[in-house]
Chains A and B, each alone.
Chain A
Amino acid sequence: MNRREFLRHAAWGSLCAGTAAGGYAWLRPTPPTVSVIRPGLPAGHLLRDAADWPQPARTLHCETLILGSGAAALCAAWHLVRNGQSNFLLAEGPERNGNNAARPYGEIAAPTGAHYLALPSRESTQVRQLLHALGILQDGVESDAPAYRETDLVFAPESRLYYQNRWQDGLLPEAPDADTRRFFALVARLKRARGRDGRKRFAIPLALSSSDAAREALDAQTFARWLDAQGLHSPALRWYLDYCCRDDYGQGADKISAFAGLHYFCARNNAQDAVLTWPEGLGHISEAIRRQIRLQEWRALPDGEDHATLRLSTPASVPMMAVAVEENADDVAVLLAPADGRRAPTVRLLARRVICAMPLQVAARIVRGFARYAGEGLQLPPVVPWLVANFHLCRFPAEAPGMERAWDNVVYGSPHLGYVIATHQLLRVARPRETVFTAYTTVPDLPPAQARRWLLEAGDDALLEYAARDLLAVYGKRFWWSVQHVDLIARAHAMPSPEPGYLNNAMLARLRAHASRLVFAHSDLSGYSVFEEACHHGVRAAQRLLAM
C-alpha cells in the first residue's frame, strides 16, 4: 500500500468512525445535570463557627419582630394582621418559606419540602380559619364536612402502589387481610375515644389531646411493639404502617412512639378523606399568606439614621437571619446578618416583642440564656434528615401495566417514600410536555446523627443513586432518558422525630408555656413536624403578644 492510498483509507476510516460516534452520541441520552442544594448549610455553619460577629453598622427600633418565614412564622404574621397589628418586621431566615419552599422548573413549580396538608379536623380551628381566609376552605369552617375549593383537593387517583410489577389503586396491597381490617376497626374506635378528662384521646393540635395514664402507656413504647402486642403481624399491613411512620416522622415504626403512630390515623376525623395539595406543594399556602397580609418583601432594611424607629402600615420582610437574640427589661436585642451566609453587614434591632419562629436547635444556639426559657439540661428531640429530589422531566416515562399515574406513587416493600407528580393537579386536555417527579427519601437504616453525616458527606452520585431508587425500580434505566435536571435537596435538620417519651419532654413543655417579650413558635414545640402544629404555635405566639 503506498502512502497516498494509506491516507485515503485513513480518511475513509475516520469518516466512518466519526459518523458512527456521532450517531451514538446523538442516540445516547445526555445525562441530566445535577445540583445538590443544602438549605441553611452555609448559614448554619456560620452560626456554629462564628464566635463573635462584626459590630452592627447601626441600630434600629421596631415594635414587633418575627424571626423566620416557615409555616409558624407566617401563621403568626397572619394572625397579627387579622387582629389589626400590621406594624411588624419579619426576618426571612436562611431559607424563604422554610420547609414550605418551592422552586420553579420551566413552567412548573415544585416543592423542595412539604407537598401537602391533610384536611384539618374540627379541632384545628386556626388552620380552618386560615384556609377560609385564603379562599381554600369555602364554606363550613365549623362543620364536619367543610367545602374546599375543588382544585385544591388532590385529584383522583390520589395514590397507587407498585406491587409485583403492576400498579394498583391505593397504598395497601391486595384486598385487606384480617389484620388490616382489625387495625382499621381499632382506629375507628380510637378516633372516638376520650380520656378521663373528657378530651379526645387523639387530637390535632396535640395540645387539645387528653393527657392521662392511657396516653402515657402508649407513649412509653414503640409503635412496632404496640402492634406486636395487639397481634397485628400481617406483612402488608406492617409495611404500610412503617411507610406511614417514615413518611410522617422520618423513622420507622420500630423507632416511633406508639402514640405518634396512632395519632396519625386517629386524630383526623373528616367525612371526606383527602389532602390539599398544589403543584408547588405548601409553597402555595405560604405565598397566599404573603399576598393576604400584603407582606412587602424588602431587599434590605431602609436607609435611615441610627436609632431610627420602623413604623409600618403594612408588614415587611428582609432577607436576613437572627444570629444573636437577647431579652432585656424593655426590649429584645436581635443581631441580624444577611441570610445568604455572609458575615456582614449586620444590623442591631431593638424590638419591643419578638416571635422566635425558628427550629429549636437554632434557637438554643443563638438565644442568650436559653436555659431561662427551656430549663437546665437541653432535651432537644432527635432531628432526622430528609433528601427531597426533584426530577425535571422532558417527557413522561412509559408506565408499567395497571392503574394510571396517581398524585402519589409508592413502591411496595421499598424503604423509600415514592414520588409525587407535580403536574397531576393541572387541568389539561393533553399530557403536559414537561413535569417534575418529586421523590422523597429518609435514611431509615442509620441513627439520625449518622444519617445526617452521610447526607453531608456523600458525593453527588451517591445521593442521586439513593434518591432515584424507587424511580429506577419502577421505570428501569430508561428513566434517565426522560430526565433533564435533578435538584437534590438535602435537609439535614428536616424535622424532629417523635420517639417514645416525646410527650413528656419537659423542655418543650416549658417553651410552650413561656410568655414574655420573647415567645417561641415552631412545630418543633409539639415534637413532630406538621402544618397544623406549626399553625397552632404560630397563632398562639401571636395571641400572647397581642395580650401583652
Chain B
Amino acid sequence: MTSIRLNRTLVISVFVVASCGLAYELIMAALASYLLGDSILLFSSVIGLYLFAMGVGAHVSKYIADQDALARFIEIELLVGVMGGLSALGLFVAFGLAAAPFRTLLYAMVLLTGTVVGMEIPLVMRILNQQQADFRELVSRVLTFDYMGALAVSLLFPLVLAPHLGMARSALLFGILNVLVAMVTARAFRAQLGKRYAALQGRAGTVLLILAGAFVLANRIVAAAEEHYFGDPVVYSRSTPYQRLVVTRWKDDTRLFLNGNLQFSSRDEARYHEALVLPAMEQVKDARTVLILGGGDGLAAREVLKYPSVQAVTLVDLDAQMTQLFSQSRTLTALNHGSLADARLRVVNEDAAKWLETAPEQYDVILIDFPDPSSFALGKLYSVPMYRLAARHLAPGGRMAVQSTSPYFAPNAFWCIEATLRAAGLHTWPYHIYVPSFGEWGFILAGADDAFALPATLRVNTRFLSPEELAAMFRFPADMARREVEPNFLNTQKLVQYFEQDWGEVMR
C-alpha cells in the first residue's frame, strides 16, 4: 500500500516539475525577445540551449549515488526553485543596469537552469525504480505526466499567467511550486531521509520565504529596474506597431518617451506647447479650424482648444494606441485637459503625409510637430514639396508653425528648415524658446502673405507666455544668428547632413 501512495506523490511531482521546467524556458525566451526584440533568433536559441542544457543535466545525474538520489532530488528542486523563480526578476534588473552584459547573462542563466532541470526526471525515475520493479509501467507513467505538464504550462503561460501575473511573478510562482514539491516529497519519504529530513525542510522553508517575499515585491523591483533605465518610475509602457511608448512619473513630473527619446516633461511642456501653438493662433484673427500633424499626446491640442473661436480641430497621428492612451489614462488626460475627447476635435490615425496628399480641407492654422530629421526617411518631412503640400491646406491668411529642432545645438539644421519653407514660397518668422528638458528650441512661423504684428495682449490664459516673452522669442542673439545654408531638396537632403554634423559637434 505505501508503495502506491509514494508512487502517486512522485507522479504528481513529475507533473509539477515538468510544468515548471517548461515554464522557465518559455519565460526566459519570451522575456528576452520582449526586451531585445529580434524574437525569432532569440526565441529559438534560448529554447535550443535550454534543451541542450537539460541533456547535460541528464548526463550529470548518473554521478549521483543511488543512496543519495532522494536527498539530492529534494535539493535540486530547491535549487531549481531559486534559480528559475528568480530568473525573470534577475533579467529585468540586469536589463535596467545598462552596464550589465545582458545577453551573456541571459544565456548563462538558461544554461544553468536547464542543466539543473535536466537532472530532475532521471532522478525521479531512479527513485521510483528503487520503489517499484515494473520498469515498463514506470517509464510510461513518468513520461506521460512529464508531457502533460508541459502541455498544461504551454497553454497556461500565454493565456493566463503572462497577462495577469507578468513575467517576473509567473516565474516566482513556478519557483514556489518547485519548493512545494521538495517539501511534499521530503515529507512523504520522511522515514527514508532520517536525520537529513529536518535540515532539508529547514532549507526549503528559507527558500520558500525568499521566493514569497520576492513575489510580493516583484512589481516594485521591475518598476525600479525600468526606472533606472528611464530615470523615473515607469507608470505605463507598451510596444505599438510603430514605437515603444513609456510614460514615467516622479512626484509631479510626468514624462513621455518614444523609443527611449524624451518627448515632454510635464514640468516644462507648457513652454514648448505654448510656443508651438500661440504665435500662430495669435496671428490669425479668430482662427476657426486647426490642423495638428503629430502631437498624439494632445498637449498642443489643449492649447488650441483654449481659443473660444476654434470650432474644429483635426489631429493626425499615426499611432492609434498613443492617441487612445492620451485620451483614456487619468494621469495623462489631467495633463492635456481631456483635449483628445473634446467634441471639437477629430483624431485621424493615419500617416500625416499620406493624409495631406488626399484630404481636401483647408485650415486657418496648421501645427507641424514631426520627429527630428535624424534620417533620410524623416528628412523628407522637412522638404519643399512637403511644405508646399501643407501650404495647400492653409486657408487665405492662415499661418503654419513648424517644430524645427534647436537653433542653438543644430543651427545649420534650423536655418535649413527656415530656408526650405522660404523655397516653398512662404514668408517665415523664425523664433525660439528655452525648454529646460530640451535646451534652446526652435520653431518657424510661416504663411503665404507677409502680414505680421506682435500681439499687445494674449487672448488666452497661459502658464508661461506673456506678450513680452512672445516678442522676445522672435529675437535671435548673436550665437544663434541666421546662417546662410541650402534649403532641403529631396534630391540632395542637405538637412540630414546638417543635423548630423550639428549634433555630432555637440556630443563630442
Contact = CB atoms under 8 A, between A and B. Distances in A.
Interface of A: 1, 9, 12-13, 15-16, 19, 27, 150-151, 153-158, 272, 274, 404-405, 426-432, 481
A427 B353 contact: yes
A150 B490 contact: yes
B132 interface: no
Interface residues of B, number: 37
Contact of A150 (B353, B357, B385): B385
A27 B44 CA distance: 10
A432 B353 CA distance: 11
A157 B494 CA distance: 11
Given A150-B489, A156-B490, A431 B144 contact: no
A423 to B, nearest CB: 10
B13 to A, nearest CB: 19
A426 B154 CA distance: 43
B300 interface: no
Contacts of A155: 376, 380, 490-491, 493
Nearest to A433: B241
B3 interface: no
A407 to B, nearest CB: 10
Given A155-B380, A430-B318, A12 B375 contact: no
Contacts of B389: 427
B143 to A, nearest CB: 9
Nearest to B353: A427
Interface in B339-384: 351-354, 357, 370-371, 375-377, 379-381, 383-384
A522 B351 CA distance: 42
A-side interface mostly: loop
B490 to A, nearest CB: 5
B380 to A, nearest CB: 5
Given A1-B136, A1-B140, A428-B353, A153 B491 contact: yes
Nearest to A154: B491
A12 B144 contact: yes
8 contacts: A1-B136, A151-B385, A155-B490, A156-B379, A156-B493, A427-B354, A427-B357, A429-B371
Contact of A156 (B376, B381, B386): B376
Contacts of B294: 429
Nearest to A148: B491
A432 B377 CA distance: 11
B375 A9 contact: no
A12 B147 contact: yes
Interface in B441-495: 489-493
Nearest to B39: A27
B40 interface: yes
Contacts, number: 78
B354 A428 contact: yes
B385 A427 contact: yes
Contacts of B353: 426-429
Which of A15, A158, A429, A432 gathers most chain B CB within 10 Å? Answer: A429
Interface string B323-343: 000000000000000000000
Interface string B143-184: 010011011001000000000000000000000000000000
A154 to B, nearest CB: 7
A429 B352 contact: yes
B242 A430 contact: yes
Which of B148, B370, B491 gathers most chain A CB within 10 Å? Answer: B491
A427 B491 contact: no
Contacts of B375: 404
B493 A428 contact: no
B151 A16 contact: yes
Contacts of A15: 151
Contacts of A156: 376, 379, 490-493, 496
Contacts of B144: 9, 12
B351 A428 contact: yes
A519 B354 CA distance: 45
B148 A431 contact: no
Contacts of B380: 155, 427-428
B151 A19 contact: yes
A429 B151 contact: no
B147 to A, nearest CB: 5
B148 A427 contact: no
A12 B149 CA distance: 11
Which of A19, A27, A155 gathers most chain B CB within 10 Å? Answer: A155
B383 A150 contact: yes
The 8 closest A-B pairs by CB, nearest first: A156-B493, A153-B491, A427-B353, A155-B490, A151-B385, A150-B385, A429-B352, A428-B353
A262 B136 CA distance: 82
Given A155-B376, A404-B375, A27 B40 contact: yes
A154 B491 CA distance: 6
Contacts of A432: 351
B486 to A, nearest CB: 12
Contacts of A16: 147, 150-151
Given A16-B151, A427-B354, A428-B353, 11 more contacts: A15-B151, A16-B150, A150-B385, A150-B491, A155-B376, A157-B493, A426-B354, A427-B353, A427-B386, A429-B318, A429-B352
A9 B142 CA distance: 12
B500 to A, nearest CB: 12
B490 A153 contact: yes
A12 B151 CA distance: 10
Contacts of B136: 1
Nearest to A398: B38
A155 B351 CA distance: 19
A9 B151 contact: no
Contacts of B376: 155-157, 404
B389 to A, nearest CB: 7
Nearest to A5: B140
A150 B383 CA distance: 9
Contact of A274 (B40, B351, B384, B491): B491
B385 A19 contact: no
A69 to B, nearest CB: 28
A157 B377 CA distance: 9
A151 B424 CA distance: 13
B151 A404 contact: no
Which of B137, B380, B381 gathers most chain A CB within 10 Å? Answer: B380
Interface in B291-310: 294
A155 B136 CA distance: 71
Nearest to B154: A19
